[in-house]
Amino acid sequence: MAKKLVIKVTAGADAPERCSQAFTVAAVAVASGVEVSLWLTGESSWFALPGRAAEFELPHAAPLPDLIDSILAAGRITLCTQCAARREITEKDVLEGVRIAGAQVFVQEALGDETQALVY
């Protein structure tokens, strides 16, 4: 089993089930002791901002703010540099614990030893 899981979520409120699955898998992996790096890209970028996850609703799904809190407690959340720039999001705007980084960092993480990468 991979010791690290890198998850890129491209979906947001535009594809709620896919979005929720990515956050759920990340939170379950963290709870299972797996090192997790969750990347927010595309429409999921908005969830890097305070209060935005609370606006997300999907029946029978765990609340997105709770999933984000559990991921940040023991994992890492990164907002894509270009996605942030396109939405005029800066480091001062994001939730505490969320970093902004680019494709080079994503590739480095995804190609690490004993790493599994997933894209939602």
Q: What is the pLDDT of residue 2?
A: 62
Question: Hey, where are the domains in the chain?
Answer: 2-117
pLDDT, one tens digit per residue, over 24-59 is 999 999 999 999 999 999 999 999 999 999 999 999
> CA nearest 27: which of 102, 88, 77?
77
Q: What DSSP letter does each residue of 1-64 carry, written as one string?
A: --SEEEEEE--STTSHHHHHHHHHHHHHHHHTT-EEEEEE-GGGGGGGSTTTGGG---TTS--H
pLDDT, one tens digit per residue, over 74-89 is 999 999 999 999 999 9
Does pLDDT of 1 surpass 80?
no
Q: Is 28 left (phi over 0), alpha (psi -120 to 50) or beta?
A: alpha
Q: Mean of the per-residue pLDDT values for the chain?
A: 97
Instruction: Look up the CATH number of domain 2-117.
Output: 3.40.1260.10
